[in-house]
């Protein structure tokens, strides 16, 4: 399952990342982590003080990877609309959902300020980054004047996260795709051909 030669702490972090995405914090037991990582209890507690510390390492890694993937698309070439479109249309495991967004549905995780912090920071970063791009589009005249960049960025995030929910509920990525197409139609610059 894991790359041969990957050290035990890395296997534990990767196993925890997968389990958090699939089961959430409450459903991720130390035993399940150990089994998935192929590590014993002693190894787990040698590297991490407990489940909260290991979960934090996994959440921080997931948040870092999500930021890097988003930034790679958002800093690409093209107009603001093109970059937002590339972000919305990038390949995703729609039926599995967002690995960071799904954490917000876990009440125990959200109740722990240290575990919630990287989730909140990542969502805030993404909203801010999207707002910068919308602001560029407003300044260049690509988007209509008077649009609030933070509100538009929030709508983009809401479409993505809501699209995951709709897709999972229906068992089909079509619901996600329809939401993205609808938002892109609303954002399409004046005079642009569909």
Q: pLDDT at position 150, please?
A: 97
For residues 46-72, average pLDDT = 95
For residues 170-181, average pLDDT = 96
- Fold (CATH) for 59-187: Tetracycline Repressor; domain 2 (1.10.357)
Query: Mapping DSSP to helix (H, G, I), strand (E, B) and coil, where does residue 79 land?
Result: coil
pTM (2 d.p.) = 0.90
Q: pLDDT at position 12, please?
A: 95
Q: pLDDT at position 194, please?
A: 55
For residues 155-163, average pLDDT = 97
- Residues whose CB falls within 8 Å of the CB of residue 85, separated by 6 or more in sequence, listed in order: 184
Query: Mapping DSSP to helix (H, G, I), strand (E, B) and coil, where does residue 11 land?
Result: helix
Q: Where are the domains of the chain?
A: 59-187
pLDDT in tens, 23-56: 989 999 999 999 999 998 888 888 998 899 999 9
Side-chain-facing half-sphere of 124: CA atoms under 13 Å: 6
| pLDDT over 60 (residue 1) | no
């Amino acid at each position: 399952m894991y790359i041969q030669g990957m050290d035990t702490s890395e296997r534990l972090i990767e196993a925890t990342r997968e389990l958090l995405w699939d089961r959430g914090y409450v459903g991720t037991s130390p035993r399940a982590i150990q089994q998935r990582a192929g590590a014993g209890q002693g190894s787990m507690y040698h590297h991490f003080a407990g489940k909260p510390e290991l979960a934090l390492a996994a959440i921080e890694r997931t948040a870092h990877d999500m930021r890097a993937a988003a930034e790679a698309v958002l800093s690409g070439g093209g107009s603001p609309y093109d970059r937002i479109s590339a972000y919305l249309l990038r390949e995703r495991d729609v039926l599995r959902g967002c690995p960071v967004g799904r954490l917000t549905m876990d009440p125990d995780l959200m109740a722990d300020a240290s575990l919630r912090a990287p989730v909140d920071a990542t969502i805030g970063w993404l909203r801010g980054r999207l707002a910068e791009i919308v602001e560029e589009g407003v300044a260049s005249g690509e988007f209509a004047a008077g649009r609030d960049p933070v509100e538009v960025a929030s709508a983009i995030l809401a479409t993505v996260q809501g699209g995951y929910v709709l897709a999972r509920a229906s068992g089909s990525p079509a619901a996600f795709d329809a939401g993205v197409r609808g938002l892109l139609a609303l954002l399409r610059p004046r005079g642009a051909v569909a």
